[in-house]
Chain A
C-alpha cells in the first residue's frame, strides 16, 4: 500500500515564483481563505539606543500563505530570520511593515490558538510529565483538572510515552522530553502549531522516528504546522511545501511543493524522487545567489 503511493508519486518540479516577489498579491479575495497569510512582512530589531545604525533588518518582504491542515517547512541559512518570522507569527514580536494575518485578522500577541515548540524542550522541571502536558490547559482555565489529565494521557499515548506520566522531566531522555514538549503544545488544541527546529538537538536516529511521529500526530489531530529547520531532508520529509529563505534580511526565495503522498513511510527517504527533491532544495539554498537556479536543474 505504501509502496503504491511511493511509486505513484511524481515529483513535481513546480515551484512558485523564484524571484521572491509576492506569490499571493492578487487581492483580499485570495487572502481571506488563508489561515495564515504574510504579505511583504518586514521585521526589525532595534537596539535600545534608538539610533538608526542599531537597527537590524531581520526579515524583509516575506510572503507566505498557509491553508488549514497545511504542513509548511521553512529552511534557510543561519541567521536569516526564520526564528524571527516564527516569533512574529507567535505574537512575540511586532512587525514593522506589511501584513501578517491569522484568519484575516492582525496578530495582537501570543494566543491560545497558536502553540510553539522550541528547540529546547523547556519543560517545567518541578512538574511531573503529565502536569507538564496539562500546563497550557491549566493556564487557559477552560477545562476541569480531571478532564485535562484525561486529555494529557491520551496525548502521552499518542507520542508514545504511555506510562511515563508520573516521571519528572529529568528522568527522561532528550528525545522523550521533546515528545512531552510536543504533547504539551498539542494539549491546548492549537489551530496553528509553530515549531522552531524542534528536533535539532536529538540524535539522527531518534530524529527520524520523531519526524514520522510528528506527521502521524499532525494527521491524527488535523493540525496546521509551520516548521523551521536547518535540515533539508527533514523539511522534504515533513512538508507539503518547503519555503527557502534568503540570507538576511530574509525573504522567501522559493516555495518548493513536495508531492509525495501521505502517510509517508521511512522508506521514502531512500527513494530517488525524494533524493532528487532534496537536491533541488539544496541547490536553491546554497546556490541561492543565482535566481535561475531553480529552472536550471529541470
Chain B
C-alpha cells in the first residue's frame, strides 16, 4: 500500500484531485466534543422524560433560555463585574505575594525552615473555613471577599514556586557556579526560568481555588456577584438560573486555565516532546 512509497520524501507533490487538508482535526477534539454532546443529549433526554419536575432538573434548553433572560437585563453585568473584580484582585494579589515569597522560600533554606510550619498548617486547614473570621475582621465588603479569594489562590502558587526552585537540576546549578556565577546571577539565569513550568501549573491550580473562593465569599452578605445570583436563585427555586451561574463559573475557569496552558506551552518549548 502507500506505506512502501513513504520511505522517499515526496519531492514533487503528486497532483491530487482535491487539495490536501491543511489541518486534520486532532482526535483530542473529536473525542472531547463527542463526550460533551453525549452528556448534553442524555441530560436533555432525562429532563424531557420528566422523572423530576423541571423546577428540580431543567434541561439544557431551559438553561439556555435562562442564560438569554439573564443577559437581557443589565443586572447581570453588575454581577459579572463584581465577581470578576473579586477574582482578578484576589488572583493578582495571590500572584504578587505568593510567587516572590515562594521563590525566596525555595532559594533560602533557612527561610523555608522558618515558614514551613506555618505554611503546612495553613495549607492543611480547609482555608474556606476561615471565611467567618475574615468577615469578622474585614467586614462583609469587598475586602473580605478578596481576602478569601486570595487565601484560596495563594497556596497553590506559593507551594509550586517553592518546589520549582527546590527541584532545580543540581548539575545545572553546579555548571553555573563553575562559571563563577553569583547568587543573583544563578537566581536570574537558572532559578527563574527553571521554575516557570512549576509556577504556571501553580497559577492554573490557583484559578480553580480562586473560583471556589469567589462563590463562597458571595454566600454571605453580598449585594452583587454571580455566586450571590446563584444563591438567591436557589432559594427561589429558579434552578435553571442556578445552572446558568454554574456555567458562568465553569466557562471562566476553562478560559483562564486554557490561557495559562498556552503560556505553559510557550515556556515549555524546550521540553522534549513525548
Contacts and interface: CB of A to CB of B under 8 A. Distances in A.
A136 B179 contact: yes
Contacts of B174: 92, 118, 122
Contacts of B269: 168
A135 interface: yes
B185 interface: yes
B270 interface: yes
A215 B194 CA distance: 34
A127 interface: yes
Contacts of A135: 175, 179, 189
Contacts, number: 63
Interface string B156-195: 0000000000000101101111111100010001100110
B270 A125 contact: yes
A48 B228 CA distance: 58
Contacts of B267: 126
Interface of B: 169, 171-172, 174-181, 185, 189-190, 193-194, 196, 267, 269-273
> What are the 4 closest A-B residue pairs judged by CB atoms, nearest first?
A170-B272, A122-B171, A136-B179, A168-B270
A169 B172 CA distance: 13
Contact of A110 (B177, B271, B273): B177
Q: How large is the interface on A (under 10, 10 to 19, 20 to 34, 35 or more residues)?
A: 20 to 34
A152 B180 CA distance: 19
Given A122-B169, A125-B270, A140 B196 contact: no
B243 to A, nearest CB: 43
Nearest to A128: B270
Nearest to A136: B179
Contact of B180 (A110, A127, A171): A110
Contacts of B172: 122-124
Contact of B171 (A118, A126, A168): A118
Contacts of A136: 179
B143 to A, nearest CB: 39
A219 B179 CA distance: 23
A139 B180 contact: yes
Contacts of A140: 179-180
Contacts of B171: 118, 120, 122
